[in-house]
Amino acid sequence: MTEPEFWAHVAAAHPRRYDADAHADQLAARLAKLPEPEILDFVHHWDAASARAYRRDLWGAAYLVNGGCSDDGFQYFRWWLILQGREAFDAALADPDTLAEVLDGETDVEAEVGPGADAWFLATGTGRDDAGYSAYDRALTFRHPRRPPLPPLAPHWDFDDAAEVRRRLPRLAATYLDGDGEDSGE
């Protein structure tokens, strides 16, 4: 599976009324019909996209939108971002403030999902027990021996500093700090 095919699957499974869990479920059902190597390729592209989105500026956006953001929360935010499709994903990587166009005031922007893994378990009929997860890891490692590494993060900035957030993410700050973009004295 190529990267454009990966993004085509993400787009094709997008539900009419958006819900990240429903999107992931539809995507897993779609992928489960593919040959096992293609499912594992999807997982590899998913992991690569998640690694590309591992950036301090996006973490700041996730922190702002979600009212805080742990390590796990940032992973779930990146997975949500992938589910938004290639155009929104690429725009957010170029400028995280473009998420203002996608979010429309939405909060709790996370998706604790793994549609590729879900598809693999569906397609192979493997149980979700220790042996099943070991089989999945072996299959994925055999197909893609090198997992995409997370890049180093840019220097830290204070996500709780309202002035810094407004400077770096003005459109998101206008919505998520106080709703009107005016400094509320934070």
Encoded tokens for 76: 């779930």
Amino acid at 37: P
Q: Tokens 């590309």 correspond to what residue?
A: 52
pLDDT per residue over 133-185, tens digit each? 999 999 999 999 999 999 999 999 999 999 999 999 999 999 998 764 444 44
DSSP 168: H
Cα 28–chain centre separation: 15
**Sequence-ordered list of residues with C-beta below 8 angstroms from that of 104, at least 6 positions apart, any chain:** none
67 pLDDT higher than 60 = yes
**pTM for this model (two decimals):** 0.92
Encoded tokens for 91: 């725009």
